[in-house]
């Protein structure tokens, strides 16, 4: 209840007690490196016409980033101002009425005002991240800037493989099947030429087909059939996973060029930094779920089940095949690969 209705108060307390500002600085730097990498990859793609490509680069540059917590947290009295009018007492019912009234007022107060592109839609203690199509912005709350996603002092290969791939994922959403319909301010706009749109749709079809061929055998018994993934409804997230991981890997290689190579981990000397990058990527998607929750995920979620987020993304990666010596034609290094960003 408290974290749902007083989320920014809970977030404030979390940030004060547990968040290291060094994580904010590192994450900002990583966002900058990956965004630069994304722009440079866009400028290299051969399937976009020059005008559409230029607008895509501008959109990547114009993307706003929110890291850790909102700027207004710096003002110590801001929280009281934010929750002005809310009264919390001994009656749970009255507390709920007061908070609901506050939340509805907050929504109505924005009516007819210009969109604030720096607004936070989730509280800083949340372990999640998002891209907002309407504002062309990405948000990484303090809650996700901790292990296993991020930690200062560990090899950057692990950080780039985990939080780096997520940063790349959110940036790529600006250019997926939904994001491509809005411009750099988040307004609906048609900025793609006809020929580039046609090529994009062909490339998207590759992902739809790839993920649509994946089986979810855990559900066969329940549904009395061979259960397959839905490649259409998950295409945006799959594209974001693929583009995000690829851009984070390329950004990591550039980082190493000027900062020097990562040290190997004691006890894990057998893994190269590149291999650690991919281990970092796969580790954040470890999950254990019941068949019922997996079924709900397959039927309704726009994300693929975690195992397939790892398998599908890495099977498209030449860098992964190279780092782990996968033979061409093996399950994790198929001949035909999908690539957009």
Using the minimum distance from each CB to Zn ion, give the nearer residue, 237 or 297. Answer: 237
55 alpha carbon, distance to own chain's centre: 22
Query: Which residue out of 57, 156, 170, 262 is catalytically annotated?
Result: 170
Distance of alpha carbon 36 from alpha carbon 19, whole angstroms? 26
- Least Å from the CB of residue 167 to Zn ion: 12
Using the minimum distance from each CB to Zn ion, give the nearer residue, 133 or 184. Answer: 133
Query: Which residue out of 57, 241, 262, 297 is catalytically annotated?
Result: 241
Q: What is the largest CA-CA distance in the chain?
A: 66
Distance of alpha carbon 326 from alpha carbon 194, whole angstroms? 38
- Helix (H), strand (E) counts: the chain: 15, 3
Residue 292 annotated among the catalytic residues of the structure: no
Using the minimum distance from each CB to Zn ion, give the nearer residue, 33 or 172. Answer: 172
Q: Do residues 159 and 30 touch, judged by C-beta distance below 8 A?
A: yes
Using the minimum distance from each CB to Zn ion, give the nearer residue, 139 or 159. Answer: 139
Site string for Zn ion, 200-239 (x = CB under 5 A): -------------------------------------x--
The torsion region of residue 114 among left (phi > 0), alpha (psi -120 to 50) and beta comes to beta
# chain residues binding Zn ion, by CB under 5 A? 2
The torsion region of residue 190 among left (phi > 0), alpha (psi -120 to 50) and beta comes to beta
Residue 198 annotated among the catalytic residues of the structure: no
Q: Is 240 in the site for Zn ion (CB under 5 A)?
A: yes
Q: Which of 223, 213, 188, 194 is nearest to 296 (CA)?
A: 223
Using the minimum distance from each CB to Zn ion, give the nearer residue, 264 or 307. Answer: 307
- Least Å from the CB of residue 81 to Zn ion: 33
Stretch that binds Zn ion, among 27-35, 78-86, 93-101, 240-248 (CB under 5 A): 240-248
- Least Å from the CB of residue 129 to Zn ion: 8
- Least Å from the CB of residue 9 to Zn ion: 27
Q: DSSP characters for 180-227?
A: GGB-TTS-B---S-HHHHHHHHHHHHHHHHHHHT-B-GGGHHHHTS--
- Least Å from the CB of residue 202 to Zn ion: 22
Q: Annotated catalytic sites, by residue?
A: 170, 241
> Which residue ranges make up the site for Zn ion (CB under 5 A)?
237, 240
């Amino acid at each position: 209840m408290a974290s749902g209705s007083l989320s920014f108060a809970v977030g404030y307390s979390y940030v004060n007690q547990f968040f290291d500002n060094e994580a904010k600085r590192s994450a900002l730097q990583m966002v900058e490196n990956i965004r630069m990498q994304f722009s440079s990859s866009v400028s290299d793609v051969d399937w976009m016409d020059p005008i559409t490509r230029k607008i895509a680069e501008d959109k990547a540059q114009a993307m706003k980033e929110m890291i850790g917590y909102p700027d207004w947290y710096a003002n110590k009295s801001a929280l009281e101002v934010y929750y002005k009018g809310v009264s919390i007492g001994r009656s749970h019912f009255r507390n709920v009425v007061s908070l609901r009234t506050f939340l509805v007022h907050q929504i109505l107060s924005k009516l007819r005002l210009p969109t604030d592109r720096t607004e936070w839609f989730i509280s800083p203690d949340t372990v999640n991240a998002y891209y907002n199509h309407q504002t062309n912005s990405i948000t990484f709350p303090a809650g996700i800037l901790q292990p296993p996603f991020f930690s200062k002092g560990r090899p950057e290969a692990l950080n780039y493989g985990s939080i780096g791939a997520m940063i790349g994922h959110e940036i790529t959403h600006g250019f997926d099947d939904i994001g491509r319909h809005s411009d750099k301010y988040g307004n609906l706009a048609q900025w793609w030429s006809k020929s580039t749109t046609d090529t994009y749709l062909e490339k998207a079809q590759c992902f739809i087909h790839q993920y649509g061929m994946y089986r979810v055998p855990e559900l066969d018994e329940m549904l009395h059939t061979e259960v397959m993934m839905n490649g259409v409804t998950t295409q945006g997230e799959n594209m974001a996973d693929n583009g995000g991981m690829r851009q984070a890997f390329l950004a990591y290689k550039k980082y190493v060029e000027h900062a020097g190579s990562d040290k190997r981990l004691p006890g894990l000397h057998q893994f190269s930094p590149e291999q650690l990058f991919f281990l970092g990527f796969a580790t954040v998607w470890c999950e254990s779920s019941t068949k019922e929750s997996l079924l709900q995920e397959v039927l309704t979620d726009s994300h693929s089940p975690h195992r397939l987020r790892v398998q599908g993304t890495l099977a498209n990666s030449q860098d992964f095949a190279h780092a782990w010596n996968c033979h061409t034609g093996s399950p994790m290094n198929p001949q035909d690969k999908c690539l957009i960003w």
